[in-house]
Structure 1
């Protein structure tokens, strides 16, 4: 098998253990895998930002100005380092769908880590793209992440078309109106799947719509904390 990033051959080590039990298949070679360091230090309990404080300055600001959030918390897997920026750009903006599989193992591992903190029988809801954006990209990266998880996926949310988040400033993102809508009642807890948490505006908007339609609790699992 070849590395999804550098195309080098992935040659598993042969030991007595691997003879008795085949090793877990990997999508990245060891050097590339080493460059994807998961968030391991202290983090904000609400947004996963690396922080020595239990609640980071951004989340304290949000609570003071907006009150209690509809989003209980977000858990992110990776920091947005240089290699992650390159990989997400190629995956998300240049249409290399296969690269998403390089994140499957760590995304699933993160879900298993937070699973004990979730209510029983949650559904995973991917953050949607507008129809125009789907035509432009060819796939929804958040839906791909949602499919990695061993729970029911429900595509509840719809999205109106707007300017790309990546082209907006932080101020513009925070001031943006809610682009999501939904046409049904939601009677079970939800974990939102998305690729990048930057200001959190997208996830907070999605959570507020879900709560307005009956969802008892909303959490998020994001690939990257920007």
Structure 2
């Protein structure tokens, strides 16, 4: 599978050259570049992580991401997510819309929610900011009642073991019933967050659930 997007024109050449856009041979399910890990972790057109998810029960049809989560992408996301640089993400608007037309043409977009405490700390939900740039219908039908430790402070094993709790707002049942839904978040690492959210959306009538993240770890 091949996936390619041109660099965003609103970024200077120096910044653009430090971003690594996901392209070439990627995992059919999670979108991770096969060039990032040894061949032994590849199983046909899927990576070993996705094979494990499917063995234990996966709720996500596919994930697609724009960037490889390299050091510069980490800096970009940190400025957007933690330092309130909400204008920064608009540099990727054209690329989001191109990808949306290609990969999620008939989807509703559902941002991964923050807990009330985290939303208060940041002043905005970074996933909602990304979702709004696709130019499609955004449905904020999930809430996150529990305050969790930041994912960035956890190791891979801890992230995989997290039982993230989401609550579905029943006022949106008719809105998502029978529809293709795309979850939106900033980073995909182990997939545990989108899998948890995907399950609850399918339980409430979504036809399929996929996900998009700005970066793929």
TM-score range, shorter chain: 0.7 to 0.9
Other-structure match for 2:149? 163
Q: Measure the CA separation in 1 of the matches of 2:70 and 2:155.
A: 19
Provide the aligned C-alpha RMSD in A. 1.6
Q: Confirm whether residue 220 of structure 1 aligns to residue 206 of structure 2.
A: no
Cα distance in 1 for partners of 2:210, 2:151 equals: 21
Give the distance between the partners of 2:33 and 2:102, measured in 1 at CA. Answer: 17
SS in structure 1 opposite 2:27? Answer: coil
**Tell me, what secondary structure is at the counterpart of 1:97?**
coil
Q: Which ranges of structure 1 fall in alignment gaps of 5 or more residues?
A: 1-24
- Number of the residue aligned with 1:46: 29
Kindly indicate whether the alpha-carbon contact (under 8 Å) linking 1:111 and 1:221 is maintained by their aligned counterparts in 2.
Answer: no
Unaligned runs of 5+ in 2: 1-7, 35-41
Name the CA distance, whole Å, in 2 between partners of 1:77 and 1:109.
11
1:174 aligns with 2:174: no
Larger radius of gyration: 1
- 1:56-79 CA distances to partner (integer Å, 9 max, x unpaired)? 011112222x13x11111011110
Task: Give the length in aligned residue pairs.
Answer: 196
Where do 4+ consecutive residues of structure 1 move more than 3 Å? none
Which stretch has the larger CA shift, 99-108 or 25-34? 25-34
Instruction: Report deviation, 1:215.
Output: 1.0
Structure 2 residue aligned with 1:125? 110
Q: Deviations over 1:167-203 (max 9, x none)?
A: 1221111111132111322312211111100001000
The within-5 A match list for 1:61-210 is 61-64=52-55, 66-67=56-57, 69-115=58-104, 118=105, 120=106, 122-160=107-145, 161-184=147-170, 185=173, 186-187=176-177, 188-210=179-201
> How many angstroms does 1:148 deviate by?
0.6
SS of 2:164's partner is: coil
